[in-house]
Structure 1
Amino acid sequence: MADTPLDTTIGTSRVTPLRSPLSHVADRLAAATRTSGGAIRLAELPFLAQLNVRLDAKGPAAEAVGLALDLQLPLQPNTVVRAGELTALWLGPDEWLLVGPPGGERDLESRVREAAGDEPVSVIDVSAQRTTLLVTGPHAHDLLAHGCSLDLHPRVFGPGRCAQTTLGRTQVVLVARDEPRAGFWVLVRSTFAGYLADWLLDAATEYI
């Protein structure tokens, strides 16, 4: 579901349900998935916890944070490490994006800061900055290749790889999931999510 069940009452005020950036196209994404006969699957993974972390990769904080999260921060460029429900993406020599289940951003931030202790560390909650599109199916590579200049063949951009790139002229973080059939995550800024969803739906026309 694109909406979370946050419709509740606080005092005398009713809280409006939180809506994801792509809630308005959820039906279109689902329809494209159905009519493609399994060739393409498009869906939004809304509200994932996302933290941008910067620290010295060679310093004690990196090891301490890895132990606290039970996940070693990837040190090889454009690689991904996953442990349980937590995923770490390499964005730069001293920069990572931690992605976890919805609602876990505060706990995750606390664990990182406590593990780093007095060591220099920057932790920024960017959960509201992006949403995530899931693109899977036998033609997922072909679909993304319509608008991405990267070589997305599994031998080159296989499971465990990520990259900051452009897709349909939109800046994204592209992640090849753990197994080939698991497809891709496409992390896109919320303000451009609607445009990118429209682009994907248009590019997927030949498979529908």
Structure 2
Amino acid sequence: MADNALTAPLRSPLSGVADRLAAATRTSAGEIRLAELPFLAQINVRLDAKGPAAEAVGLALDLQLPLQPNTVVRAGELTALWLGPDEWLLVGPPGSERDLESRIREAAGDEPVSVTDVSAQRTTLLVTGPRAHDLLAHGCALDLHPRAFGSGRCAQTTLGRTQVVLVARDEPRAGFWVLVRSSFAGYLADWLLDAATEYV
């Protein structure tokens, strides 16, 4: 009997290239590490940053939404990315989507707020290692030097002609998250593997 959408196990967009990502990591002698972080919860939130809902949502999540453009705020396992003056992306551990949605809606009460689960829309690539900046610079127009795009920064940009959300992680040597639409994930993984060949 064929699996249907309700009984089939979850399959990440990059499950077919996981071995190639691991092999590139092994052969780069620590210069580059590539891995997928599949199934992260991703919740798009839109609300008035100066209204009462913003403060209430921040208290409910134990994390204040970042108000400075292209910045990231992290508390525990939850990360908030600034996408616009009234738009954020919350990234949390796999399986936390419903809890995050209900906490936000309950905190906002009757205030106008848009809460959309976009977890299935994107997957996340982790790019770390001493040459991570160099690798990403091959296909990204942003200045990725730590002075310009240091830890705690994010941006909607293109990488290898693919629209992504790029996040400079704030832990030591944590590298970057590259959030990419699932339909372009295979292409972008191939692009990264090809661009990484000079480091292996």
The TM-score by the shorter chain falls in which range? over 0.9
- Post-superposition offset of 1:87: 0.2
TM-score (norm 2): 0.97
8 Å CA contact retained: 1:154, 1:180: no
Residue identity (%): 91
Work out which structure has the larger RCO, using CA pairs closer than 8 Å and 6 or more positions apart in sequence: 2
Distance 2:143 2:120 in 1: 29
- Post-superposition offset of 1:16: 2.0
SS of 1:122's partner is strand
- Post-superposition offset of 1:8: 12
| Residue equivalent to 1:8 | 4
1:166 aligns with 2:191: no
- Post-superposition offset of 1:17: 1.6
- Post-superposition offset of 1:172: 0.1
Aligned with 2:191 (options 184, 188, 199) = 199
After superposition, what is the alpha-carbon deviation per residue over 1:55-93, rounded to whole angstroms, capped at 9, x for unaligned? 000000000000000000000000000000000000000
Aligned residue pairs, count: 198
| Residue equivalent to 1:48 | 40
RMSD: 1.6
Distance 2:5 2:130 in 1: 45
Distance 2:125 2:172 in 1: 16
- Post-superposition offset of 1:18: 1.0
Runs of at least 4 residues off by over 3 Å: 7-10
| Residue equivalent to 1:101 | 93
After superposition, what is the alpha-carbon deviation per residue over 1:8-62, rounded to whole angstroms, capped at 9, x for unaligned? 999xxxx222110000000000000000010000000000000000000000000
Deviates more, 1:171-180 or 1:103-112: 171-180
- Post-superposition offset of 1:179: 3.0
Q: Give 5+ residue unaligned stretches, structure 1.
A: 1-6
8 Å CA contact retained: 1:30, 1:43: yes
- Post-superposition offset of 1:180: 4.8
1:145 aligns with 2:141: no
CA separation of 1:8/1:193 partners in 2, compared to 1, >3 Å: closer, same or farther? closer
| Residue equivalent to 1:3 | none
Q: Give 5+ residue unaligned stretches, structure 2.
A: none
8 Å CA contact retained: 1:45, 1:131: yes
TM-score (norm 1): 0.93
